[in-house]
Structure 1
Amino acid sequence: MSYNVTIQPSGHQFQVEEGEAVLSAALRQGIGLPYGCKNGGCGSCKSKIVEGSIEQGAHSHTALPQDEQTRGMALLCCAHARSDLVIESREVIGVGDIPVKRLPCRVAKLERRADDVMVIHLQLPANERLQFLAGQYLEFILKDGKRRSYSMACAPHQDGPLELHVRHTPGGVFTDHVFGAMKERDILRFEAPLGTFFLREDTDKPIVLLASGTGFAPLKAIVEHALHKGIARPMTLYWGGRRRKDLYMAELAEQWAREVPNFTFVPVLSEADAADQWQGRTGFVHHAVMQDLPNLSGYEVYACGAPVMVESARREFSAHCGLPAEAFYADAFTTEADLAA
């Protein structure tokens, strides 16, 4: 059995099969709905069910609180149709034009940038080049079939290996392997490009880039892409961490601030101690944005990092700074622990 799904306001339609997630059906048929983690952890695919009924699958309650579910909101990545549906969702143009590939790759270089941050460089086969949008991610396919997602930290125009930034999550099967047994020349398999987090180029609005931890990775790709394309929109990067070491490529951001017109870098630490000798901003990184830019109505925000930071920024920028919901683009880095929250 299949059901018909109509998207408002576009009027586009697609079919979803019994037992198939609504998001999966849309992507399979070339419909570009927004998404991030695809496992109920980040909230990027949250949409309103205008008509019809669904069964909402397992998800993080921070991504879809009960009060939002009561108001008809749903996470389409783990929602299954129980009737024809009318949903309210914005659509993403252009994502469906790029083919998703499954490829082998070789670990070309491992570069430890902090005690818990590894930069992995991946070499593709000689006859392959991956087409993607700056900010998108790949999924490693592990031997047991499980998947792990990481944003690509390089811009699409760059030749050479793909670049990933991986933070060690103690007890995490994949990151324990990265920081323990992984070595150069190892072979991995991945699927890419994925996600709807990328720079929108059809506007001249100034840009706020908001990162926590390794959320810097896709924002690095976006900045490098913008520089390559000669995009002159003002950009301000707010990068938050607990300690100074968490800003593991601060020197690169400082270089952009020195050399790129209309680029500003604001580092923020939440738990700096005496050893950091920190003279800069402190507190929550999204609060620094609100202090500097109390009116965000004319901006676009690209936020990436811990789900609690992304969701707090989404909520507070809208409620207190006038940021339109459609001008907030996000990629929350979810872990297995987040999904249990």
Structure 2
Amino acid sequence: MAFNVTLRQSGRQFQVEQDEPVLSAALRQGIGLPYGCKNGACGSCKGTVVSGEIEQRAHSSSALSNDEKTRGMALLCCATACSDLEVDIREVAGVGDVQIKKLPCRVNAIERKADDVIVVKLQLPANERLQYLAGQYLEFILKDGKRRSYSMANAPHSEGPIELHIRHMPGGAFTDHVFNTMKERDILRFEAPLGTFFLREDSAKPIVLLASGTGFAPLKAIVEHAVFKNLERPMTLYWGARRKKDLYLLELAEQWAREIPNFKFVPVLSEPDASDAWTGRVGFVHRAVIEDLPDLSAYQVYACGAPVMVESALRDFTQHHGLPEDEFYADSFTSEADLANAV
């Protein structure tokens, strides 16, 4: 049995099969809805069910609260239809124009940039080229069928290997492999491009780029793309980490600040050590944005990194500092642990 889903804002319709997630059905039919993790952990695919009945499957309580459920909200990546539906959610233009592929790749280079960060470069087959939007991610398809997501850190126009920034998650089967046993020339398989986190080029608003840890990776792609396209919008990158060594490409960001017109870089450490001899900003990275820009009503924000940072930024920027909610774009780096409190 199939049900009809109507998108309230555009009136577009698509069909969802019984037991099929609403998001999966939309993407399968070329309809761009916002999403990130696809497993109920990040909250990017949140929408309001205006009419009809759904079954909301297991998800992180931080991605969808009980209060939001009572107001008719749902996570479409893990919601199935029990009737025809009308859903209020913003659509994402452009995503459906890029073909999603499953491809093999060869590990071209493994470069350790910090104690717990490795830059991996992937070579595609000679006859393949991956089209994607700056900020999107790929999913490795592991031998057991599980998947692991990583943002592409180089801009789409760049020729050569795809660049990923991988942080070691102690006890994580895949990152243990990357850090301990993976070798150059190893063969991997992935699906890409995925996600709706990418630079919106149809706006002239100044941009705030907000990263924690390896959330720098997709923002690097966005900066490189903006430079390639000669976009003149002011950009300010706030990059937060615990220690100076965790700003694993600090020199690159400082180089951008010197060379790119209208570009500023603000590094922020939450727990600097005496050995860091740090004279820069200290505290939570999203608070540094608020200190500098108490009125965000005229800005676009692109936030990427730890879920707690993304959630705090969304709440504080939109509720207290004037940022329109539809100008906040985020990629929350969820992990298996973020689903440990699934409800």
Q: TM-score, normalised by structure 2?
A: 0.99
Cα offsets for 1:218-265 (capped at 9, x unmatched): 000000000000001000000001111111001111000001111000
1:174 has 2:174 as partner: yes
The aligned residue for residue 67 of structure 1 is 67
Cα offsets for 1:164-187 (capped at 9, x unmatched): 000000010100000010010000
1:10 has 2:4 as partner: no
1:213 has 2:213 as partner: yes
The aligned residue for residue 135 of structure 1 is 135
Q: How does 1:87-98 map to 2 (within 5 A)?
A: 87-98=87-98
Instruction: Using the TM superposition, give the Cα deviation of residue 8 of structure 1 relative to its aligned residue in structure 2, in angstroms.
Output: 1.5
3-state SS of paired residue (1:49): strand
In the aligned structure 2, how far is the partner of 1:269 from the partner of 1:109?
29
In the aligned structure 1, how far is the partner of 2:65 from the partner of 2:132?
32
Instruction: Using the TM superposition, give the Cα deviation of residue 70 of structure 1 relative to its aligned residue in structure 2, in angstroms.
Output: 1.5
Instruction: Using the TM superposition, give the Cα deviation of residue 65 of structure 1 relative to its aligned residue in structure 2, in angstroms.
Output: 1.4
In the aligned structure 2, how far is the partner of 1:305 from the partner of 1:65?
21
The aligned length equals 341
In the aligned structure 2, how far is the partner of 1:301 from the partner of 1:135?
13
Give 1:4's aligned amino acid.
Answer: N
1:23 has 2:23 as partner: yes
Give 1:94's aligned amino acid.
Answer: G
The aligned residue for residue 310 of structure 2 is 310
3-state SS of paired residue (1:318): helix
3-state SS of paired residue (1:44): coil
The aligned residue for residue 163 of structure 2 is 163
3-state SS of paired residue (2:193): strand
In the aligned structure 2, how far is the partner of 1:280 from the partner of 1:317?
23
In the aligned structure 2, how far is the partner of 1:191 from the partner of 1:306?
23
Q: How does 1:81-92 map to 2 (within 5 A)?
A: 81-92=81-92
3-state SS of paired residue (2:296): coil
3-state SS of paired residue (2:150): strand
1:284 has 2:278 as partner: no
3-state SS of paired residue (2:103): strand
In the aligned structure 2, how far is the partner of 1:5 from the partner of 1:277?
57
Give 2:120's aligned amino acid.
Answer: I
3-state SS of paired residue (1:144): coil
The aligned residue for residue 230 of structure 1 is 230
Instruction: Using the TM superposition, give the Cα deviation of residue 28 of structure 1 relative to its aligned residue in structure 2, in angstroms.
Output: 0.4
Give 2:335's aligned amino acid.
Answer: T
3-state SS of paired residue (2:106): strand
Instruction: Using the TM superposition, give the Cα deviation of residue 69 of structure 1 relative to its aligned residue in structure 2, in angstroms.
Output: 1.3
Instruction: Using the TM superposition, give the Cα deviation of residue 273 of structure 1 relative to its aligned residue in structure 2, in angstroms.
Output: 1.5
Segments of 5+ residues of structure 2 without an aligned counterpart are none
Q: Following superposition, which runs of at least 4 residues in structure 1 exceed 6 angstroms of deviation?
A: none
In the aligned structure 2, how far is the partner of 1:177 from the partner of 1:137?
20
3-state SS of paired residue (2:216): helix
Instruction: Using the TM superposition, give the Cα deviation of residue 192 of structure 1 relative to its aligned residue in structure 2, in angstroms.
Output: 0.3
Give 2:143's aligned amino acid.
Answer: K
Give 1:140's aligned amino acid.
Answer: F
Fraction of identical pairs, as percent: 75
1:152 has 2:149 as partner: no
3-state SS of paired residue (1:32): coil
In the aligned structure 1, how far is the partner of 2:263 from the partner of 2:34?
28
Give 1:121's aligned amino acid.
Answer: K
Give 1:127's aligned amino acid.
Answer: N
Cα offsets for 1:104-135 (capped at 9, x unmatched): 00000000000000000000001110000000
The aligned residue for residue 259 of structure 2 is 259
In the aligned structure 2, how far is the partner of 1:304 from the partner of 1:201?
18
Instruction: Using the TM superposition, give the Cα deviation of residue 13 of structure 1 relative to its aligned residue in structure 2, in angstroms.
Output: 0.7
Give 1:334's aligned amino acid.
Answer: T
Instruction: Using the TM superposition, give the Cα deviation of residue 313 of structure 1 relative to its aligned residue in structure 2, in angstroms.
Output: 0.5
In the aligned structure 1, how far is the partner of 2:241 from the partner of 2:60?
23
Cα offsets for 1:132-166 (capped at 9, x unmatched): 00000000000000000000000000000000000
Give 2:103's aligned amino acid.
Answer: L
3-state SS of paired residue (1:286): helix
